[in-house]
Chains A and B, each alone.
Chain A
Amino acid sequence: MASVRVETKLWVWQRLSAAVLGLCVLVHLGMIIYAVQDGLSAAEIITRVSGNVLWFVFYAVFIVAVAIHAPIGVRTILNEMTNLSPKMTHIVMAVLCLVILVMGFRAIIGLYQAGASL
């Protein structure tokens, strides 16, 4: 068992990131619905979103929130449902966090730069 301080702080981080995610998901879904209703194509979305610093910052925040929120939850599930040691679930949490950060930032950096090549 990890210390009560670590558990409590992980809980706080997960709650804070959940609050950020709630807002991000609303904006994200709202934008999708808005874009689809206007009949935009993928190329048009890229034209509008890429190179836009505000969207880059928005999705950067989104990714950081996911990278905090999801691994903590996965760690809890592994602790409850598997026989993995607490140390191992901690490592899985850290690796998953890194994977989400790398994949996420690779995607939004690519999207940000895509506009330049159009």
Chain B
Amino acid sequence: MSNTIQVSVWRGAEEGAFETFEVPRQPSQTVLDVITYIQRNIDPTLSYRFACRVGVCGSCAMTVNGRPRWTCRTHVDKVAGDGTLQVAPLRNLQVVKDLACEMTEFFDKMNRAEGKFHPTKTRDDDFDFIKPDDKKRKQASAGIECIGCGVCYAACDIVDWNKDYLGPAALNRAWTLVNDERDGGNDVRLAAVAGDAGCHACHSQQGCVEHCPKHLSPTHSIAGLKRETAKAALKGLLGGDD
């Protein structure tokens, strides 16, 4: 192992260029460690985002050697076999500066997909009793661990060519709520996620599945939404807003 690593880092916003830094190698070093080293020791003007450093908050996703990854849990050893790293901001999101992206659109789409809980009960009502092996509970559990990092959104080619497309994370979030027995918002939710900006735009290429750091399968969730919206359409429950 060489004692240093050559790192090219995107500098600028939409317009910009890669700048190369030489960073000392450390055992168990992550890509986030490398970026942090550059900012603290070489160039304090480098902008990037992180918070927890342990794969929980979902704020440090970047494009590493051409692939979207969570940088805090990506070891340099695994991605920089030849001793070089290229770190860029996430694809499909507007770049604010350097490695920091504008995430507003990503989170707005969670709202547009009705990715919020629609309560049906008050505090005076009893709890819902849902068994762990309940089919819908299992389907919700399969998608619930999303950390909102935006890796799937950056990996998705449909997002790239259809800017209205809600994206894998928002649709996955909607699917977990479709399967939530306590939620009462499925009529509006299914109407929100159907159509050519929603689940029907997905071509099941599974870029999201390939890159999700939590090993979720948004494609599977989107397939579920396709089935449920089809049922709703056949029952005449989907709105007809042209």
User: Residues of A contacting B161 with CB < 8 Å?
Assistant: 80-81
Docked Cα-Cα span, A76 to B233, in Å, equals: 19
Task: Check A12 against B234 for contact (C-beta < 8 Å).
Answer: yes
Task: Check B194 against A12 for contact (C-beta < 8 Å).
Answer: no
Chain A residue nearest to B237 in the complex (CB): A5
* A8 at interface, CB cutoff 8 A: yes
What's the least CB distance linking B174 to chain A, in Å?
A: 13
Please tell me the size bucket of the interface on B: 20 to 34
Write out, one digit per residue, whether chain B residues 111-139 have a CB within 8 A of any chain A CB (1) or not (0): 00000000000000000000000000000
User: Residues of A contacting B24 with CB < 8 Å?
Assistant: none
Task: Check B226 against A4 for contact (C-beta < 8 Å).
Answer: no
* B230 at interface, CB cutoff 8 A: yes
The tally of residues in A whose CB lies under 8 Å from a CB in B reads 15
B residues touching A (Cβ–Cβ < 8 Å)? 161-162, 164, 191, 194-198, 200, 226, 229-230, 232-234, 238-242
Task: Check A8 against B242 for contact (C-beta < 8 Å).
Answer: no
Task: Check B230 against A5 for contact (C-beta < 8 Å).
Answer: no
What's the least CB distance linking A17 to chain B, in Å?
A: 14
Task: Check B162 against A4 for contact (C-beta < 8 Å).
Answer: no
User: Residues of A contacting B196 with CB < 8 Å?
Assistant: 1-2, 7, 76, 79
Docked Cα-Cα span, A39 to B209, in Å, equals: 48
